[in-house]
Amino acid sequence: MASSSFVEIERFHLIPVLSATCPCHRPLLSKNSLILNRKKLNFDLLLNGSKTAVPVHAKRATAKRWLITSVARAEADSVDEDSSKEEVEKDHISPAKEDSVSQLQQKASQLKKRIIFGLGIGISAGGIVLAGGWVFTVALAAVVFVGAREYFELVRSRGITAGMTPPPRYVSRVCSVICAFMPVLTLYFGQIDIPVTFAAFVVAMALLLQRGNPRFSQLSSTIFGLFYCGYLPCFWVKLRCGLAAPALNTRIGTTWPVLLGGQAHWTVGLVATLISMSSIIAADTYAFIGGKAFGRTLLTRISPKKTWEGTIVGLGGCIATSVVLSKFFSWPTSLLSAIAFGFLNFFGSIFGDLTESMIKRDAGVKDSGSLIPGHGGILDRSDSYIFTGALAYSFVKAFLPLYGV
């Protein structure tokens, strides 16, 4: 009886075990092949034309049931193998996907907090600037106090103390209080040169007469803290409250309520402060957008996120904001003066930002604090304003009178 060596049911190849001893007659086995044992099927094949008895007809029903059972088992094994592979792949990929999703959610939540608190700070700061006087001064003193505390904590961090000796903690606390009183003294006396000099002398004597071995690093970090956190912010008080000359050409002053001061409320100091702070906000915003869109060239190693492309876009946005607001407030009247004022604001902004970035880099921290959700500490939000107040006041006080306001 002539018979084929392969029996295929659906996609499985059923292969009987041949009795030939020559390996050349053995069929090739595939993945979906089933080997049929001669004893289980109870039949023989005739190879090369030889005769043999084949009792297949007698046990056809038994062989059929066995074939169906074998195919079902093979199909189940194949399905189990595929499902186990899918489970392994799922277990392997799932953590990465979950991490990416969690990171995206975290970034979205952080951005939401940043926008909400940023708007809240902007609106509050605008109202404080408009109020002026003691409201502006006391609010600035509170910001200075918290900023000074953050500065001296940075000085005491491991990254900086690894190469220097920090000042004693009681000196840091006293300096923070002194810095907070500087804006108040500026408003009361109109200038602060003598109080600052006296405070620096007292702090230096306290450090030199302390127990142990006084170090120059203690003196330098403390005196710089008085200058950086206390003296420089006082120029905002001089700018906002000291320049009390009325801005006569400002149209908004004519419609300002009398109960809030009327047209006399809109002084040169108020207009200059609003333009300067708005230009700083524009510089930071445009620099961030420009850096994200076009940033390729690193500006400096102090801050790896700042690029030349973002800096140029920020400079353009700062100058444009200064020019637009000068037209709105009709101050300064010269276009060249408005452009120079915008450039000066941007220069002070980026210089203050890089200075604080240098301190944080040496301290080995990302943020100066965690007071403001999504923004970090007070120094992280006010670093661009520290040097700008002194530059803006000097520009309005010394430069503009030479060319006319």
Q: How far apart are CA 141 and CA 183, in angstroms?
A: 6
- pLDDT for 384 equals 94
Does residue 47 surpass a pLDDT of 50? no
| One domain, residues 174 and 265 | no
Whole-number percent of the chain with pLDDT over 70: 73
* pLDDT surpasses 70 at 98: no
* Surface-to-core class of residue 36, CB atoms within 10 Å of its CB (0-12 exposed, 13-18 middle, 19+ buried): middle
| Position 91 in a domain | no
Residue 392: how many other CB atoms lie within 10 Å? 26
Write down the pLDDT at residue 279.
Answer: 96
pLDDT mean over 308-330: 96
369 residue type, one letter: G
Distance CA 181, CA 163 (A): 31
- The H or E element containing residue 23 is none
| Other Cβ atoms closer than 10 A to 179 | 28
Residues 262 and 392 in one domain: yes
Report yes or no on 117 lying in a domain: no
DSSP 265: G
Lookup: tokens for 89: 């792949």
The answer to whether position 92 is within a domain reads: no
Q: What is the pLDDT of residue 229?
A: 95
Q: Are residues 222 and 288 in the same domain?
A: no
pLDDT above 70: residue 213: yes
Last residue of a domain, one of 242, 275, 293: 242
Task: Check if the beta carbon of residue 247 is closer than 8 Å to that of residue 271.
Answer: yes
Share of the chain above pLDDT 90, in %: 46
SS3 3: coil
Which domain range does residue 150 map to?
A: 131-242
Averaged pLDDT of the chain: 80
pLDDT band at 268 (very low <50, low <70, confident <90, very high): very high
* Cα separation, 190 vs 234, whole angstroms: 10
| Residue 7 pLDDT exceeds 80 | no
Same domain, 164 and 67: no
Q: Which range, of 154-163, 269-278, 296-305, averages the lowest pLDDT?
A: 154-163
Domain boundary among 83, 112, 144: 83
Could you tell me if residue 139 is inside a domain? yes
- Are residue 159 and residue 223 in the same domain, yes or no? yes
- Residue 27 and residue 65 in one domain: yes
Mean pLDDT of 22-51: 44
The edge-to-edge listing of strands for the beta sheet with 7-9 is: 7-9, 12-16, 33-36
pLDDT of residue 52: 44
How far, in whole angstroms, is CA 357 from its chain's centroid?
13
Strand partners, 298: 307
| pLDDT number for residue 139 | 96
Instruction: Examine the domain organization and report whether 40 and 14 are in the same domain.
Output: yes
Residue predicted with more confidence, 394 or 29: 394
Same domain, 236 and 200: yes
Same domain membership, residue 249 and residue 238: no
Residue with structure tokens 């609010």?
Answer: 139
Residues 265 and 280 in one domain: yes
Has residue 134 got a pLDDT over 60? yes
Residue 37, in any domain of the structure:
yes
Backbone angles phi, psi at 95, to 5 degrees: -60, -40
pLDDT per residue as tens digits for the range 278-302:
999 999 999 999 999 999 999 998 8
pLDDT for position 164: 83
Joined tokens for residue 279: 């230009």
**Residue 281 one-letter amino acid:** I
Phi and psi, residue 128, nearest 5°: -65, -40
Helix H or strand E segment including 35: strand 33-36
- Cα atoms found within 13 Å of the Cα of residue 199, Cβ hemisphere only: 25
Tell whether 291 is covered by a domain.
yes
Is the separation of the CB atoms in 388 and 276 below 8 Å?
yes
Angle at 73 between CA 69 and CA 75, to 5 degrees: 115
User: Is 150 a residue whose pLDDT tops 80?
Assistant: yes
User: Is 170 contained in some domain?
Assistant: yes
Distance from C-alpha of 344 to C-alpha of 340, rounded to nearest angstrom: 6
Domain shared by 268 and 223, yes or no: no
Question: Does 39 map to a domain?
Answer: yes
Total domain count, the chain: 3
Residue 9 banded pLDDT, cuts 50, 70, 90: very low
Same domain, 238 and 146: yes
CA 154 to chain CA centroid, nearest Å: 19
Last residue of a domain, one of 209, 242, 275: 242
Alpha-carbon distances of 302 from 58, 344, 357, 358, 362, rounded to whole Å: 91, 21, 6, 6, 10
Please give the Cα distance from 277 to 128 (Å, whole number).
12
pLDDT band at residue 39 using 50, 70 and 90 as cut-offs: very low
pLDDT band at residue 249 under the 50/70/90 scheme: confident
Rounded CA gap, 308 and 294, in Å? 9
